[in-house]
Chains A and B, each alone.
Chain A
Amino acid sequence: MLVLENISKSLGRKRILSDISFEVREGSIFGYLGPNGAGKTTTIRIILGLFEQDRGSVMIAGLSPTVASRRRIGFLLEGDGLYNDLTVDENIALYAGMYGLDLESTRDKIDNLLELFELNHVRSQRLSTFSRGMKRKTAFVRSIIHEPRLLILDEPFNGLDPDMQGLMRESLLRLSREQDTTIFVSSHNLYEIDRICDRIAIIKDGVLKVNDATVDLKERYRREGMSLEDVYFSVTRGGG
């Protein structure tokens, strides 16, 4: 579904990404880990067409990313991207319009999602009064209303209480298993990544250090008595 081949990117004189290659298979959940400044956000920006790579290629469902192809992508960036002076309904309607959705025909779906994420009772309120977690939930609902084939999530668990983290986890698993949505998750939450991802990649200083199936990765390191957290720290603190 998503293939990155030999992606390199520099900003000014600084090399941000060096020969990044990975594939995210359709319907799978791909965890993308790395410390701050490792190049995770730049990778996401390249996938979303916000940045242009210096070298290499990005293919989404066999096609190069274009403005039109973004209709099949859902995203939740680190900043929620929501308008505080608009209500939940207005924020969702704005993005629904951009994805060419007819609000009336998707009304039931939106209602169900708002109900599921406990936002129904505040849907007419402006977001300026919302907590970080509520905004995060609203942004997540906004990212999936058009039933994207590829969902790009940057720190989706940030600001959520444990109950909502659980709900987010279940929602992602359901999207992957039942709707065959391909999910790319960048996160520092190793616990959640460990629980939901089929495959995990770890990036450090713009170089992909680990790219393996979660089961294989855990099995390999289990023999050495290491957890995913130990693996992560050995890669990011050590030489990888």
Chain B
Amino acid sequence: MIGIILVKELRGLLRWRRIFLTVVIAAIVMIYVPNEIFTRITGPDNIGARYIDFYFSFYSIIAVMILAHTANYTVFLRDKANGTLESLLAAPVHIRHVWLGKTLAVFLVGYTIAVVLSFAFVLVANHTFGPSIALVPSGYGYLSLFVLNPVICVLIIGLLGICTLLVRDYLVVRYGFFGIWFALFYFLKPAGRLIGVSVIPVQAAAILGLAILVFFALRLLTNERVVLSVE
């Protein structure tokens, strides 16, 4: 059942033109902005190279959050606005399966784009600084990109999805979402100082915290609450 919802939402997302506009915005944030910062901080001692893992791994989260915000509209909110959600819930499908199918669709599209943009960022950064300064992500960078960050992203998207399904006024969700986004952005700053030690405990703490939030939020997710939030 999750697969049916997932395939339907993936098709919808890939057909949606606005997603491409969002990719362009994400590309600017992912590639242009970090490069600007790198240009300023990278001196003769090649200090910027130390931050490559930091940007390589964490910017994928930022990119996914930009994409998730747009995709969330088409995947979760449009179902509420068009009145299709009630029929979906009246079919022989559990609401958590609906939620999971939709969450995975947003994650798969968003994270695939984020991974592509992360590598594009490394290529552009290397091109900017020339062959004398090699910016190569370490094993930690790859661990973050392919293991830790996907978990963080799927939990953030899932939490955003539950809030969208439950909260009547989407503006509340939107501002809450941006609140999390900016909190994370400022959280990255001190986290960045830990580079050289390990950021893995910080990511593990984020995963644990988000998992607890999703666990309790899922308990609130009932057909009745969702249907009433539509009216």
Is there an interface contact between B87 and A70, defined as CB atoms closer than 8 Å? no
Q: Answer yes or no: B50 CB below 8 A from chain A CBs.
A: no
The answer to whether the Cβ of B212 comes within 8 Å of any Cβ in the partner chain is no
Residues of B contacting A: mostly: helix
Question: B83 and A79: CB pair below 8 A?
Answer: yes
Bound-state CA distance A85–B224 (Å) is 26
B93 within 8 A of A: yes
Encode A97-111 as 1/0 by CB contact (under 8 A) with B: 111000000000000
Residues of B within 8 A of A67 (CB): 92-94
Cross-interface CB contact of A11 among B12, B82, B228, cutoff 8 Å: B228
**Whole-angstrom distance between the Cβ of B74 and the nearest chain A Cβ:** 9
Nearest A residue (CB) for B87: A81
Complex interface: chain A residues within 8 A of B4 (CB) = 94, 97-98
Interface residues on B, range: 20 to 34
Interface residues of B in 76-95 (CB under 8 A from A): 82-84, 86-94
For chain A, residues 65 to 105, give those with C-beta under 8 angstroms from any C-beta of chain B: 67-71, 75, 77, 79-85, 94-95, 97-99
How far, in Å, is A15 (CB) from chain B's closest CB? 16
Q: How far is it, in angstroms, between the C-alpha of A79 and the C-alpha of B222 when the chains are bound?
A: 20
Residues in A with CB closer than 8 Å to B12 are 83, 85
Is B197 interfacial (CB-CB < 8 Å)?
no
CB interface residues, A 35-90, toward B, < 8 Å: 45, 48-52, 67-71, 75, 77, 79-85
Given A45-B227, A51-B223, A81 contacting B88 (CB threshold 8 A): yes
- The digit string for B93-105, where 1 denotes a CB below 8 A from any CB of A, is 1100000000000
Q: Is B18 an interface residue (CB 8 A)?
A: no
B224 touches A70 (CB 8 A): no
Is the CB–CB distance between A79 and B86 below 8 Å?
Answer: yes
B227–A51 contact, CB under 8 A?
A: yes
Is B8 interfacial (CB 8 A cutoff)?
A: yes
Q: How large is the interface on A (under 10, 10 to 19, 20 to 34, 35 or more residues)?
A: 20 to 34
Q: Determine whether the beta carbon of B90 is less than 8 Å from that of A50.
A: yes
Given contacts A50-B89, A67-B93, contact A82 B224 (CB under 8 A): no
Minimum C-beta distance from A94 to chain B (A) = 6
Whether A98 lies near B87 (C-beta < 8 A) is no
B171 at the interface (CB under 8 A from A): no
Q: Mark B171-200, 1 if CB is under 8 A from A, else 0.
A: 000000000000000000000000000000
B88: which A residues are within 8 A, CB to CB? 81
Choose one: B84, B86, B94; the contact of A50 (CB below 8 Å).
B86
Chain A contact residues: over half helix, strand or loop, or mixed? loop
Cβ-closest chain B residue relative to A69: B92
Residue B147 at the A interface, CB < 8 A?
Answer: no
Decide if B15 is an interface residue (CB 8 Å cutoff).
Answer: yes
**Residue of A whose beta carbon sits closest to that of B90:** A48
What A residues does B224 contact at CB under 8 A? 50-52
B1, B83, B227: the one within 8 Å of A98 (CB): B1
Contact with A along B1-15 (1 / 0, CB 8 A): 100100010001001
Cα distance, A88 to B87, chains bound together (Å): 16
| A240–chain B nearest beta-carbon distance, Å | 27
Q: Which residue of A lies closest to B224 (CB)?
A: A51
B223 near A99: Cβ-Cβ < 8 Å:
no
Please state if B228 and A98 are interface contacts (CB–CB under 8 Å): no
Q: Is the CB of B91 within 8 A of A70?
A: yes
Q: Which of A50, A51, A70 contacts B92 (CB 8 A)?
A: A70
A82 touches B90 (CB 8 A): no
Closest A residue to B4 by beta carbon equals: A97
Beyond A45-B227, A82-B84, A98-B4, list 8 extra A-B contacts (CB 8 Å). A11-B228, A70-B90, A70-B92, A75-B87, A77-B87, A79-B87, A80-B83, A98-B93
Measured CB to CB, the residues of A under 8 A from B are: 11, 45, 48-52, 67-71, 75, 77, 79-85, 94-95, 97-99
3 closest Cβ pairs, A-B complex: A81-B87, A79-B83, A70-B92
Binding site for A on B (CB under 8 A): 1, 4, 8, 12, 15, 82-84, 86-94, 222-224, 227-228
